[in-house]
Chains A and B, each alone.
Chain A
Amino acid sequence: MNILQIDIAGGQTSFEPGDEIDLTLSWELEQAPESIELRLVWSTSGKGTTDLEIVQTVPFEFPSPRETRRTSITLPASPYSFSGKLITLQWALELIAFPAEESTRQEIVMAPAGTEVRLKTIETASSAL
């Protein structure tokens, strides 16, 4: 069985823009992968089609089938994690083994105070004025 794992220092999953995240990446694969890649991505989901952007990649060349590596990644300034009735934007770290494309994903929040921005409905927003 193939196992890939992303461990964030202190088990933290909420961050502010510009924060540096310390990561421990480990994998146990039946066959030696050609390469392993860590990706920082954001994606949208909701009523419309899904958008996905790969913001940063950290490649690991010549990996062994079973290994643990440490790295760190710095979050960009934007876009913030947000959510409303029609769309959610969420950030995630993905660890992918090639060529089989086995992968694991760890969702994180990236916004001021580490709290996802909640969008109000038009009705709620206008009644608050």
Chain B
Amino acid sequence: MRAADNPFRTDRVLEMRYRFPDGSDMEKLLHRLEALNFRAAIVGPEGSGKTTLQEDMAYELITRGHTIRWLRLNWENRRTVTKLIEDLFSTSSERDLLFVDGAEQMGALRWRLFTRRADRYGGLVINTHAAGRLPTLWECQTTPELLSCLIDELLASNSSLPIGEVTQLFDQNDGNLRLCLREMYDRWADAQYS
């Protein structure tokens, strides 16, 4: 078994797009974003699809003529946040929409200073773990059924995982779909190598 043939390899997982539950879709979300004057937050725990949804939103907004400027914050680049923020503002025009991935990496004071400057721009859409920094646009939630759907899609016609096993996997990883799919990668690889 080659890593490139593992159905749970990273590039395949990243190709999957955000799944809205019944009754919701991107169009409704964008209407709501507009109603919030393009200042809103996508909220949810780790591995719940926040970044995927934000990227999908960015794609849609770009096709509608908007310019998106990304600020991606994470544990690895936390020491260079000041520079990243300066780079963002120095390369953005006031009509641009600012998209912040990982806004929880900013402390309270930095966040206050950031939003004061961001007020001059066309919009500010963040994703973060907890509600409260901006009006909540969407709350990302995961379920064993969603995980089951993703696993089935990645496995294609190869096979399927019983829902009991999926629920166990989901619970063991606290509903973090990214971790669940990484574990599936290992299980698949181990099965092929054993």
Contact = CB atoms under 8 A, between A and B. Distances in A.
Nearest to A83: B2
Nearest to B1: A85
A87 interface: yes
Interface stretch (B3-11, B87-95, B165-173): B3-11
B32 interface: no
B2 A88 contact: yes
Interface stretch (A8-16, A33-41, A44-52, A62-70): A44-52
A46 B10 contact: yes
A71 interface: no
Chain A: interface size category? 10 to 19
A13 to B, nearest CB: 15
Contacts of B6: 46-47
Given A50-B10, A50-B11, A45 B3 contact: yes
A49 B6 CA distance: 14
Interface string B176-194: 0000001001100100010
Contacts of A86: 3, 189
A45 B11 CA distance: 7
Nearest to A50: B11
Q: Which of B4, B5, B10 is most buried by chain A, counting CB atoms within 10 A of its CB? A: B4
5 contacts: A45-B9, A46-B6, A47-B10, A85-B193, A86-B3
Interface of B: 1-6, 9-11, 182, 185-186, 189, 193
